Each structure stands twice: as structure tokens, then as C-alpha cells.
Structure 1
């Protein structure tokens, strides 16, 4: 069979179109953009390659967490629905893109650290004198994070810039370790504790 030059060009164009559609599908978020409301936060995600990538990555982490959740699966699903509602509140922000990026970054760390999806170091025990014992597990998330356990409660903290040592900041607490000694605050307005690494 003899193909004309024009037929070959048409064939090549069709192949490129198919590749482009396939690539476009891979580059989109984990949800269907044809079903989103114009002007919504999902619409913004669909229009931003960076946000779409974050959404795909988070969806993969969420599925990984579901596989490891066991009897916590229903709780995880409820938390994820709540997180999506929180993410969509970014419409109130002056910088919606940055707000959504931060929401994805925080949630990714929560899933990776909370369900052991990335390498970790620990737990490491710190003796806080009369204040008791604190346990810390450090995760290779981005940004780096740690899960601290103190008096039966857990707190996820993200690494913060520090002149020396490693400083982590959580919602209502902080952890700053330098040369085997940690300064810890636990709870809003709580006094600072000095804790030493248990060898």
C-alpha cells in the first residue's frame, strides 16, 4: 500500500494529538475538570499545572494511607472530606494559589507522617525532668516533620528555620533540639520545658 505525503502528515498529526490528549490527562488533577464549577477552588486547581501536580501527589498519598489505615479508614475518609472543605475555604484568601499550595503541603505531611509513608527516625525519648517523658519520631517529609507524643497526646510539627539545631513548630507547641537538649512548649501559652535525650 502506498501512502501519500499528505496522508503521512495527517497520520503524524493524529498521533501527536493522541499523545497530547494523553499527556494532558496525566497533567491534570485527580478529579475531572469537566465537572467543576467555574471560579471554584477546583477550577483554579485545574488551571494550574503546579496545583494539579500537588493534587495528584496528594491523591496517591491518600490512597497509600487508606491501605494502611485498617480500622481507622472511616476516620481517615472523614478527615479527608473535612480537609477538602478547608481547602475550598481558600476562596476567602487574598492569595488563593498560595493558600491552596500551603493546604496541600500541610495535608501531604499529615498523611505521610501519620501513616508512615516515608522513612522515619525514632522514636527518640527525651526526659523532661519533673515534666515527664516526650517521644519524638522524625519523618523525611517535605518540609521535614516530627511527631511528638507527650502525656498520651500527639502533635505534628514542621521544621522551621533555626540558627542552630533543629526547630519544629506545631499548631500549639514547639520543639527545638540542639546538641541533645530540647526546649519544648506543649499547649498554647504553656511554659517552656527543658528535655534531654535519653541514651
Structure 2
């Protein structure tokens, strides 16, 4: 095999390896910011079973942690109270006609607020 053949074979092997790694990474289930073994509500169970919702949960947890870190000390208690209120709203999505849609909307609204 000449230099071109060796290069082509190497590129094929590299492309195949990258594709396999990407496919494997894509197959891994997303994990929310909380322990799914302790999930009690229908919404928590939904988040644990849905990759998009789990990803939104992680994004929100990171955004909230960042917002808390940047907030003046006298705003932290209010921010925590707002987060607790939002969480009650989120858990109420289990009683909506479209629990998944309600949950997605709640996460997006809260991410926009933060």
C-alpha cells in the first residue's frame, strides 16, 4: 500500500473511531442535578426519564448556583425563596394536561429569569 493508501486507511480508521465514540456518548442517558433514586413526584420521575428535561435541570442548577455566587449577600435569601416558589410551580406541572410541556416551559421561563 502506498502513502496515499496508508493515509486513506488511517483517516478511515480515525473517522470510524470518532463516529463510534460519538454514538456511544449520544446513547448515554442524561442525569438531572438530583438523585433519581429519591424521586417522589410525577414531575421528578418524568425529569429522570427524559434526557431533555434532565439536561434542562442541570442547566438550571448551574445557572442558579452562578446567580447565587454573583448575588449580593442581602439578595440570597430572596433568591432562594424565589427558587423554592418556582419549584412548587414546577411540581404542579404533574397535574397539568401536558406535564412534559408544562415542565419544559417552566424550566425555560426560570432560565430566562436567571
Tell me whether the two structures share a fold, i.e. TM-score over 0.5: yes
How large is the Cα RMSD of the aligned pairs? 1.6
How many residue pairs end up in the alignment? 88
Q: Determine helix, strand or coil for the equivalent of 1:28.
A: coil
Task: Report the alpha carbon displacement of residue 94 of structure 1 after superposing the two structures with TM.
Answer: 1.0
Aligned counterpart, 1:65: 67
What is the CA-CA distance between 1:69 and the residue it aligns to? 1.2
Q: Does 1:76 align with 2:79?
A: yes
1:91 aligns with 2:103: no
Per-residue CA deviation, residues 124-174 of structure 1 (Å, 9 max, x unaligned), is xxxxxxxxxxxxxxxxxxxxxxxxxxxxxxxxxxxxxxxxxxxxxxxxxxx
Q: Structure 2 CA distance, aligned partners of 1:32 and 1:109?
A: 25
More relative contact order, 1 or 2 (CA 8 Å, 6+ apart): 2
TM-score, length basis structure 1: 0.42
Partners in 1 of 2:76 and 2:90 — Cα distance? 21
Which ranges of 4 or more aligned residues in structure 1 deviate by more than 6 Å? none
Shift of 1:65: 0.3
Report the equivalent of 1:41. Answer: 43
Unaligned runs of 5+ in 2: 1-23
Q: Larger helix proportion, structure 1 or 2?
A: 2
Correspondence 1:104 to 2:107: yes
5+ residue gaps in structure 1? 1-18, 112-199
Q: By how many angstroms is 1:92 displaced?
A: 1.6
1:31 equivalent in alignment to 2:34: yes
* Bigger Rg, which one: 1
Alpha-carbon separation, structure 1, partners of 2:85 and 2:43:
15
